[in-house]
């Protein structure tokens, strides 16, 4: 699938089929994150794949009770190892690094026929407790992943004229 099509058809999937993700497809998704760029090529990340039913349910509860998260066959958790790092421009590099890697994964997932949904509404402390993650690290997003079971809605976006200017 070409990049433009993946970008055009990617959407937030909030209903998942109960079909397991074939290992080969999941590996391609993770591989896309592995190949992502990061500041100084530090790759300051870990990705935790949660398939355990009980843990998924607890993650959904910790994510403002968004129960569909637990229905996905896997939840990919993007973990920043150095949340203290800030670029010279003043932007926290951990957030940018992790977003790039996870964005790579969302597009690779579309190519594999899979859906994902960016989840940023969750309790940092609670999710770390559920996954037994050390205090120094910071979770940037949860990415439920699986075959979509809902219907695509049309994308609503601002026009290029509204968001692009030239100098």
Of residues 56-95, which lie at the interface with a copy of itself (CB under 8 A)? 64, 87-93, 95
Q: Is 28 in the site for a copy of itself (CB under 8 A)?
A: yes
Instruction: By CB under 8 A, name the one of 61, 96, 137, 150 that touches a copy of itself.
Output: 96
CB 76 within 8 A of CB 32: no
Q: Taking contact as CB under 8 A, which single stretch among the options 14-22, 26-34, 65-73, 146-154 is the one that binds a copy of itself? A: 26-34
Q: By C-alpha distance, which of 92, 87, 101 is closest to 43?
A: 101
Number of residues that bind a copy of itself (CB under 8 A): 74
- Contacts (Cβ under 8 Å, ≥6 apart) of 90: none
Cβ(77)–Cβ(130) under 8 Å? no
Options 14-22, 65-73, 98-106, 145-153: segment touching a copy of itself (CB under 8 A): 98-106
Q: Which of residues 117-146 bind a copy of itself (CB under 8 A)?
A: 118, 120-124, 127, 131, 138-141
Closer residue to a copy of itself (CB): 93 or 147: 93
Report the C-alpha gap between 46 and 52 in whole angstroms: 18
Instruction: Write the binding mask 30 to 59 for a copy of itself: x where contact by CB under 8 A, - elsewhere.
Output: xxxxxxxx-x-x-x-xxxxxxxx--x----
- Find residue 139's DSSP bridge partners: 79
Q: What's the Rg (C-alpha) of the chain?
A: 16
Report the residue number, 69 or 127, with the smaller CB distance to a copy of itself.
127
Neighbours of 100 (CB within 10 A): 16
């Amino acid at each position: 699938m070409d990049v433009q099509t993946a970008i055009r058809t990617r959407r937030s999937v909030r209903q998942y089929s109960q079909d397991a993700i074939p290992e080969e497809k999941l590996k391609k998704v993770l591989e896309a994150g592995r190949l992502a760029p990061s500041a100084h090529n530090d790759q300051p990340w870990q990705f935790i794949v949660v398939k355990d039913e009980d843990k998924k349910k607890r993650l959904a509860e910790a994510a403002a009770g968004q129960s569909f998260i637990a229905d996905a066959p896997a939840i990919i958790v993007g973990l920043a190892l150095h949340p203290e790092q800030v670029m010279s421009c003043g932007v926290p590099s951990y957030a940018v690094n992790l977003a790039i890697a996870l964005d790579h994964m969302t597009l690779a997932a579309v190519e594999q026929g899979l859906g994902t949904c960016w989840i940023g509404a969750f309790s940092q402390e609670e999710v770390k407790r559920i996954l037994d993650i050390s205090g120094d690290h910071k979770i940037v997003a949860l990415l439920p992943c699986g075959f979509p079971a809902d219907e695509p809605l049309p994308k609503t976006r601002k026009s290029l004229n509204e968001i692009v200017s030239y100098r």
